[in-house]
Structure 1
Amino acid sequence: MYLPLRAISVFHAAASSGSISRAAAELNVTPSAVSQQIQSLETHLGTALMTKVGRGVGLTEAGERYFAMISEEIDRIAEATQRMRGLRSVTLLTVRATPTLSTKWLLPRLRSFLDGHPDLEVRLNGTNEVTDFAQDAVDIEIRHGSGQWPGVYVEALAEETFLPVCSPAYCAAASLDAADLPRHRLIHSVKSQVQWPYWFSAAQTPPFDPGQRVLFDRSHMAIDAAVDGMGIALESTLMMWRELRDGTLTCPVRQPPDIRLKTQWIVCPYEHLHKKKVTLFLDWLRAERAAWEAASGASAVHGS
């Protein structure tokens, strides 16, 4: 039986990347040659496999099923071919995440993923820039925001608790009431989804003149400033878990309001969920989330 192996491999490349142009660059051919091979395969199978989605391409229902059936076998063939050539097969996984999540949550854990998957090479892109998956060579993004992004797979990384924190040398734990905070220097994370006016409202404290304050546009800077004794920051337990664990930050407020939000989201095109490297990273993220929740003890919050 004749198998259009060239067309199958071209379809696999286009489906994996979600882009005709990226598949063409990977295969060192023209985009029109990629399109022709896919059309040839669709004719051979008697069904449409791909469709235009914005500036990229997506899989039809038949394309989803076919890609799921062939992708693991093609990956095995590629690995076997590399081994026959005496080379170690290495696959690049590109992850984009916000600077604070990259610095404070992913980096301290990333070694376990690398140790468990030596054939994966990870590129971590720490930026707040939203990924255009049709143009950017990004496999998976952890995005800050509301979670409302149509047309892509979205999963909450975890639910976070927002607390006022400071160095124990600045103020002892549970030594202040909410009404005492305006007398202190308050550290502001200007892009945070929970700001001080909201926190004071939740604490049922009357409006106040913010007085002396310092503002940062990155949460990791606000966390580090609080550790250094600069003042009191309002931050997420997800981002400052290590500082809370090590005792370099503490909550100086007695009975702070319970403010919980989901602000960090796993985002990728649906077709990326068929990539083995993406599923391996997702499984690892979920395991790390569960471990973080368990380690948080009584104050743990639950992700989706």
Structure 2
Amino acid sequence: MNTIMSLFVLPDVSDIAYFTDPAKSAGRSSNDHNNKIREHILSAMPYIDDDYFNHPVYGESWRTHKTALETALREISPLYAFYKVVKKAGRGHNYDYKYKFYDSSQQQLSTEKVEFKYNALTLGDAPQFVSPMKPSQYLSQSFEEYYYDRYLVNLLTDFGLEVPERSLYLSDIHKTEPNCMLSAQQLYYEGSKGSSRWANSERAKAFYDACRKCSKTSISQFIQETDLRIDMLSDYLVKSQDKKVYLMYHQGVFRVNTVESSDYRIVNYIKQPRFARYVATIATGQTIKILLRWKNGNGIAFPAFQIS
């Protein structure tokens, strides 16, 4: 334990405010930063002790959140004496943590894949439960090719930006900051008033507006013309949800949600191009919304599905 402690960077005592202060839940531009701090706090919880609990301002919040978390974890492993957390970084994983539960004799009871969802107590309340990369593999035609050929070339040309070579674009576009789109991405965020890179430039604002318009129009038209490959998407959903536990949080309450992965097999679907999505019925009879979107700038970088 001491070896682990010596390598683990503990959170600042004030960081618990990212769970308790509503102001730290607002604003899409800060979501990623705020979520990373919350995820770090969860990784650190096994090490949080009286040094945190006795703080005059934040101590009680640390104590109540640790107690609430450990109570929720007993829904996963009722007999555990202590646990360890391994953060699973990167988009190659379909979950956030591995929780390892042990009994009082230090025998491991179980290892669980856990995904954290902030500001929701049920999966139905969460904005998404999974976000598959490279969505075209689940579609009857390539969205990336469609967008490049029908929209991107004209858009970049109109604003005097270099048009990337097609094969380079198709291989690079799934990164958060594709090298072939860096100049376009910079201009896009300079035109976005909510971005830290906002430059209040008329050209940038015009480009930002044009990107949003092209994104909306292209996705709507694409969905009208394109079918879901429901067998492939079903296989992905079943695999990604297999033996996964959701740790939900809202206003001081932690709650555990579990699902049967086989329940996510898609039976049928309808198209809703106006809302940039497909709506699928799964084996339980429930519906899931499959939104097609760009994650790092409209029409700029990282197309993906957002499934809720």
* Range class of TM-score, shorter chain: under 0.3
Scaled by the length of structure 2, the TM-score of the pair is 0.20
Greater CA radius of gyration, 1 or 2?
1
Scaled by the length of structure 1, the TM-score of the pair is 0.20
Using CA pairs under 8 Å that are at least 6 residues apart, name the structure with larger relative contact order, 1 or 2: 1
